[in-house]
Amino acid sequence: MNGASSSEGGPNNLLKESKRPKYTKFTQQELPACKPLLTPGWVMATFMVVGIVFIPIGVVTLLASNSVVEIVHRYDMDCLPPTLATKTDRVNWVQNSLVDHRCNVTLTVPKRMKRPVYVYYELTNFYQNHRRYVKSRNDQQLRGDSVTSLDSCKPLATGNGQPIVPCGLIAWSLFNDTFTFASGAGAIPVDNTGIAWKSDVDSKFGENVKPSNFPNNNSTGALGPIGGKALNANLPLKQDEDLIVWMRTAALPNFRKLWGKITDRDLEAGQVVNVQIANIYNTYSFKGSKKLVLSTTSWLGGKNSFLGIAYLTVGLICMFLALVFFLIHLKNPRPLGDTSYLSWNKKNSDRSRS
Amino acid sequence: MAGITKLWKRKKGSNSGAGNGTVVNGHDEDSRTIHCNRPDHGLFSYAGNKTSTRKYSWWSFVPLALFVQYQRAAYWYFTAMAGLSLAPFAPYSAISVWLPLIFVLVLGLLREAWEDLRRARGDRELNNRPIEWHDGNGQFVEKRWRDLRVGDLVRVKDGDFFPSDLLLVSSTGPDGICYVETMNLDGETNLKARQALEVTWGIDGKDERKLKDFTAELLCEGPNASLYTFSGRLKYNNAELPVGPPQLLLRDSSLQNTGSVLGVVVYTGHDTKSMQNSTPPPTKRSRVDKYLDKVIWLMFALLLAMATLTGVIIGIRTKQDGTDIWYMRPTESNPYYNPQKAAIVGIVGFFNGLVLYGYLIPIALYVSLEVVRVAQALFMINDIEMYDPASDKRARVKSPGLNEELGQVDTIFSDKTGTLTSNQMDFFRCTIQGVSYGKGTTEVERAAEKLGMPLGPSPRDPRPDSTRPTSRTQSVDNAIEVDTESLGPENNPYKEKGFNFYDERLLAGKWVQEKSAESIRFFFEILALCHTAIPEGTPEEPSLMRYRAESPDEAALVVAAKQFGFYFYKRTPTTLHVRESLRPGDPPRDQVYQLLDVLEFSSLRKRMSITVRFPDGRLLLLSKGADSVILQRVDRKRSGPVAETTRHLKLYGEVGLRTLVVAYKVLDEEEYKSWAKRYADARSIIGKERESRTEELAEEIEQGLTVVGGTGVEDKLQAGVPEAVDRLARAGINIWVLTGDKVETAINIGYACSLLRQGMDNLIVSLEGSEARAIEERADREGWSRDKIQEGQKNFVSRKLDDALQLVLNGHVNPRGTSTSERKISVSESLQSALSRSMSTKSSGANLSRNASKNAAGTLTRNLSVTNGRHSRNPSEGKIGVEMLPLVDGQKVGSNGEGLDQREWAISKESALTQSRKGPPAEPTEYALVIDGQSLAYILAETVLQERFLEVCINCNSVLCCRVSPRQKAQVTTLVRKGLGLHRLCLAIGDGANDVGMIQAANVGVGILGVEGAQAAMAGDFAIGQFRFLERLLLVHGRWCYRRISLMILYFFYKVCMMGWIAFYSNIFAYFSGNPLYNDWYASFYNTVFTSVPIVVIGILDQDVTPAEAFRYPQLYQSGQRGELFNFKLILWWLAISLYHSAVIFFFPLAIYSGLSAFRPGGQVAAAQDFGAAMFTVLVLVPNLQIYLAFHYFTWIHHLFIWLSILSWYLFIIVYGALPTSWSTIAYKEFIEVLAPSASYWLLQPLVVMAALLPDLVFRSIKSVYRPSDYQIVIEQSKSKRDSQHQV
Query: What does the DSSP assignment read for A247-310?
Result: HS--SSSSEEEEEEEE-S-PBPTT-EEEEEEE--S--TTTT--EEEEEE--BTTBSS--HHHHH
* Predicted local confidence at residue B890, as pLDDT: 32
* Predicted local confidence at residue A347, as pLDDT: 61
* Predicted local confidence at residue B187, as pLDDT: 58
pLDDT tens per residue, range A232-269:
889 999 999 999 999 999 999 999 999 999 999 999 99
* B116 residue type, one letter: D
The overall average pLDDT reported for chain A is 86
Backbone angles phi, psi at B602, to 5 degrees: -145, 160
From B908, which residue of chain A is nearest by alpha-carbon distance?
Answer: A351
Residue B447 pLDDT > 80: no
Pair A167, A149: CB distance under 8 Å: no
Instruction: Tell me the C-alpha distance between B208 and B1109, whole Å.
Output: 71
* Predicted local confidence at residue B685, as pLDDT: 66
* Predicted local confidence at residue A116, as pLDDT: 92
Residue B26 pLDDT > 50: no
Interaxial angle between packed helices B443-450 and B721-730, expressed in degrees from 0 to 180 and rounded to the nearest 10: 40
Which among A68, A72, A65, A71 is positioned nearest to A114, based on CA atoms? Answer: A68
Higher pLDDT, A344 or B976: B976
Q: In the structure, what pLDDT confidence band is assigned to residue B127 with cuts at 50, 70 and 90?
A: confident
The distance in angstroms from the start CA to the end CA of chain A is: 53
Q: How far is CA B579 from CA B125, B535, B589, B603, in A?
A: 43, 13, 5, 31
Which among B430, B449, B446, B447 is positioned nearest to B438, based on CA atoms? Answer: B430
Residues of A in contact with B559 (CB under 8 A): none
Pair B353, B1067: CB distance under 8 Å: yes
User: How distant is the Cα of B1277 from the closest Cα of chain A, in angstroms?
Assistant: 4
pLDDT tens per residue, range B1181-1228:
999 999 999 998 999 999 999 999 999 999 999 999 999 988 888 889
Which among B295, B296, B299, B343 is positioned nearest to B318, based on CA atoms? Answer: B343
Interface membership of B350 toward A (CB under 8 Å): no
Sequential DSSP letters for B1016-1063: HHHHSSEEESSTTHHHIIIIIIIHHHHHHHHHHHHHHHHHHHHHHHHH
Strands (E), B445-601: 534-536, 546-548, 566-571, 575-580, 589-599
Instruction: Tell me the C-alpha distance between B798 and B945, whole Å.
Output: 7
Higher pLDDT, B297 or B899: B297
Q: In the structure, what pLDDT confidence band is assigned to residue B252 with cuts at 50, 70 and 90?
A: confident
* Predicted local confidence at residue B1098, as pLDDT: 93
Sequential DSSP letters for B801-825: HHHHHHHHHHSS--TT-SS---EE-
Residues 1083-1102 of B with CB under 8 A from A: 1101
Q: Of all helices (H) and strands (E), which one includes residue B502? A: none
Instruction: Tell me the C-alpha distance between B634 and B636, whole Å.
Output: 6
Residue B5 pLDDT > 90: no
Instruction: Tell me the C-alpha distance between B958 and B735, whole Å.
Output: 5
Interface membership of B1172 toward A (CB under 8 Å): yes
Chain-centroid distance of CA B723 in Å reads 17
Higher pLDDT, B146 or B379: B379
Q: In the structure, what pLDDT confidence band is assigned to residue B46 with cuts at 50, 70 and 90?
A: confident
Instruction: Tell me the C-alpha distance between B1056 and B100, whole Å.
Output: 14
Interaxial angle between packed helices B943-954 and B966-978, expressed in degrees from 0 to 180 and rounded to the nearest 10: 80
* A104 residue type, one letter: N
Residue B822 pLDDT > 50: no
Share of chain B above pLDDT 70, in %: 79
CB contact under 8 A, A251 and B324: no
Mean pLDDT is lowest, of A66-80, B593-607, B963-977, B1125-1139, for: B593-607
Residue B241 pLDDT > 90: no
pLDDT tens per residue, range B1161-1180:
989 999 999 999 999 999 99
Q: CB-CB: which of B390, B1160, B1194 is closest to A34?
A: B1194
Higher pLDDT, B1016 or B1228: B1228
Higher pLDDT, A220 or B881: A220
CB contact under 8 A, A204 and B1228: yes
* Predicted local confidence at residue B1005, as pLDDT: 92
Q: In the structure, what pLDDT confidence band is assigned to residue B492 with cuts at 50, 70 and 90?
A: low
R_g of chain A, CA atoms, integer Å: 34
pLDDT tens per residue, range A44-95:
999 999 999 999 999 999 999 999 999 999 999 988 888 888 888 888 888 8
Q: CB-CB: which of A38, A154, A255 is closest to B1156?
A: A255
Residue B962 pLDDT > 60: yes
Interface membership of B971 toward A (CB under 8 Å): no
Q: In the structure, what pLDDT confidence band is assigned to residue B1258 with cuts at 50, 70 and 90?
A: very high
Pair B209, B138: CB distance under 8 Å: yes
Q: Which residue intervals of B915-995 are DSSP H helices?
A: 933-941, 943-954, 966-978
- Mean pLDDT computed over B754-778: 72
Of the candidates B186, B415, B426, B553, the residue annotated as catalytic is B415
Q: In what order do the strands lie in the sheet with B216-221?
A: B31-36, B216-221, B232-236, B239-243
Would you call A193 helix, strand, or coil by DSSP?
coil
Q: Please give, one letter per residue, the 3-state secondary structure of B6-61.
A: HHHCCCCCCHHHHCCCCCCCCCCCCEEEEEECCCCCCCCCCCCCCCCCCCCCCCCH
pLDDT tens per residue, range B1018-1033:
778 899 988 889 999 9
Residues of A in contact with B1257 (CB under 8 A): 46
Nearby residues of B480 by Cβ (< 8 Å), 6 or more positions away: B504, B505, B510
Sequential DSSP letters for A165-191: BS-SHHHHT----EEEEEETTEEE--B
Nearby residues of B872 by Cβ (< 8 Å), 6 or more positions away: B455, B456, B457, B654, B826, B828, B829, B830, B831, B834
Nearby residues of B712 by Cβ (< 8 Å), 6 or more positions away: B428, B429, B430, B431, B438, B649, B652, B653, B657, B658, B659
Which among B1236, B1151, B1161, B1163 is positioned nearest to A308, based on CA atoms? Answer: B1151
CB contact under 8 A, B1250 and A134: no
Q: In the structure, what pLDDT confidence band is assigned to residue B451 with cuts at 50, 70 and 90?
A: low
CB contact under 8 A, B325 and A43: no
Q: CB-CB: which of B390, B1166, B1243 is closest to A61?
A: B1243
Pair B8, B226: CB distance under 8 Å: yes
Other beta carbons within 10 angstroms of residue B466's beta carbon come to: 13
* Predicted local confidence at residue B640, as pLDDT: 75
pLDDT tens per residue, range B532-573:
777 777 777 777 777 777 677 788 888 888 878 788 887 777
Share of chain B above pLDDT 90, in %: 18
* Predicted local confidence at residue B817, as pLDDT: 35
- Mean pLDDT computed over B680-696: 71
pTM across the whole model: 0.79
Higher pLDDT, B828 or B1155: B1155
* Predicted local confidence at residue B527, as pLDDT: 84
Residues of B in contact with A306 (CB under 8 A): 1148, 1151-1152
* Predicted local confidence at residue B686, as pLDDT: 57
The overall average pLDDT reported for chain B is 76
Any idea what DSSP says for residue B436?
E
Instruction: Tell me the C-alpha distance between A279 and A291, whole Å.
Output: 11
Residue B1093 pLDDT > 70: yes
pLDDT tens per residue, range A266-297:
999 999 999 999 998 989 989 899 999 999 99
Backbone angles phi, psi at B908, to 5 degrees: -65, -30
Residues of A in contact with B1195 (CB under 8 A): 31-33
Pair B843, B897: CB distance under 8 Å: no
Q: In the structure, what pLDDT confidence band is assigned to residue B893 with cuts at 50, 70 and 90?
A: very low
Q: In the structure, what pLDDT confidence band is assigned to residue B1145 with cuts at 50, 70 and 90?
A: very high
Nearby residues of B647 by Cβ (< 8 Å), 6 or more positions away: none
Nearby residues of B1023 by Cβ (< 8 Å), 6 or more positions away: B395, B396, B398, B1006, B1007, B1008, B1009, B1016, B1017
- Mean pLDDT computed over B802-829: 50
- Mean pLDDT computed over B101-114: 84
Residues 1108-1167 of B with CB under 8 A from A: 1113, 1115, 1118, 1148, 1150-1167
Instruction: Tell me the C-alpha distance between B427 and B23, whole Å.
Output: 50
* Predicted local confidence at residue B80, as pLDDT: 84
Q: How far is CA B201 from CA B35, B102, B1061, in A?
A: 18, 64, 83
- Mean pLDDT computed over B213-219: 83
* Predicted local confidence at residue A91, as pLDDT: 87
CB contact under 8 A, B1239 and A255: no
Q: How far is CA B644 from CA B428, B523, B641, B702, B710, in A?
A: 18, 16, 6, 22, 10
From B917, which residue of chain A is nearest by alpha-carbon distance?
Answer: A344
- Mean pLDDT computed over B505-524: 76
Q: CB-CB: which of A5, A50, A336 is closest to B1250?
A: A50
* Predicted local confidence at residue B242, as pLDDT: 77
Sign of dihedral through CA atoms B134, B135, B137, B140? negative
- Mean pLDDT computed over A214-236: 71
Residues of B in contact with A294 (CB under 8 A): none
Residue B994 pLDDT > 50: yes
Q: In the structure, what pLDDT confidence band is assigned to residue A125 with cuts at 50, 70 and 90?
A: very high
To the query of whether residue B160 is one of the catalytic residues in this protein, the response is: no
User: How distant is the Cα of A54 from the closest Cα of chain B, in angstroms?
Assistant: 8
Nearby residues of A108 by Cβ (< 8 Å), 6 or more positions away: A270, A271, A272, A273
